[in-house]
Structure 1
């Protein structure tokens, strides 16, 4: 039979890991995230894929801006049922197609999928046939550019591309915006241009 002192000690043992976890979370500092402008003469492509968990319906979106953070191009498209990885790859692939079609040669590619960025930057092979097909097309297009860098950014710094991807879910056919962005994206772009910092909670 447990005494009162033993019951109290057992409660302490069972509660201790939870308490420690909470304390650790309290002490983690939020990460400041901001979208960064490219260098003069460079074009920056932010891309994103969106996948609805229950339905599996996916869409893509992206935005291209210059060194003044001025809007150049935006795109959004529904791509049917697929995985989030395929959606991210399709978003980058479509963005690169637009980059090449419009003759931009010095390009900064940025997305919020760290795994995808590593696959492209390190030219890694992937097991999924469909994913590898996208990767192969991307790897063929990148050498067509004079200069190209690929970086990862947290979602808080990729909000404009995320908005385009979300809009893609509502599209019955692919849509492109040139020079004038859709009104839904304008506030985010203004904040990005001003260097607004968004805190990422860990």
Structure 2
């Protein structure tokens, strides 16, 4: 099922609460935690994550097979997917927590990276459509 994005919303009010050691986002904001990974250097890869609100309630989650790539590219594809979802949801206040410090650094400055440029450009363009956002690093264990 590579390339198919599966998303689910908590429309039933299931009361799923996400425990977050780093604190919940401020009122009116959503927090996005997600991850991309690959088996070995260029093995089968995928990404997934979830959005939760200021009370820790699960809002929406997603998962997608990416194909074969490395972990860095899987993280970048996962970021692109989640930014698309945030845009479709009309999110205007978003905290994005990533375990990949290298991607956090790329997203928080305008440095070019010719190897990642088309995908990085997409991520930056989608990010600019969210008026208030923070892209933060968290250790993988907390993500």
Q: Same fold (TM over 0.5)?
A: yes
CA RMSD after TM alignment: 1.5
For the pair 1:91 / 2:78, whether they are aligned, the reply is yes
Work out whether residues 37 and 68 of structure 1, in 8 Å CA contact, stay in contact via their aligned partners in 2. Answer: yes
Work out whether residues 41 and 69 of structure 2, in 8 Å CA contact, stay in contact via their aligned partners in 1. Answer: no
Higher helix share: 1
For the pair 1:143 / 2:101, whether they are aligned, the reply is no
2:54 maps to which of 62, 67, 71: 67
Deviation at 1:55, TM superposition (A): 6.2
Give SS of 1:36's match: coil
For the pair 1:134 / 2:122, whether they are aligned, the reply is no
- Distance, in Å, in 1 between the alignment partners of 2:110 and 2:60 is 27
Deviation at 1:86, TM superposition (A): 0.7
TM-score using structure 1 length: 0.59
For the pair 1:36 / 2:23, whether they are aligned, the reply is yes
Structure 1 runs not aligned, ≥5 long: 1-32, 159-202
Higher strand share: 2
Larger radius of gyration: 1
Equivalent residue number for residue 92 of structure 2: 105
Greater RCO (CA < 8 Å, at least 6 residues apart)? 1
TM-score using structure 2 length: 0.82
Paired residues, number: 124
- Distance, in Å, in 2 between the alignment partners of 1:36 and 1:127 is 36
- Distance, in Å, in 2 between the alignment partners of 1:34 and 1:157 is 7
Deviation at 1:36, TM superposition (A): 2.4
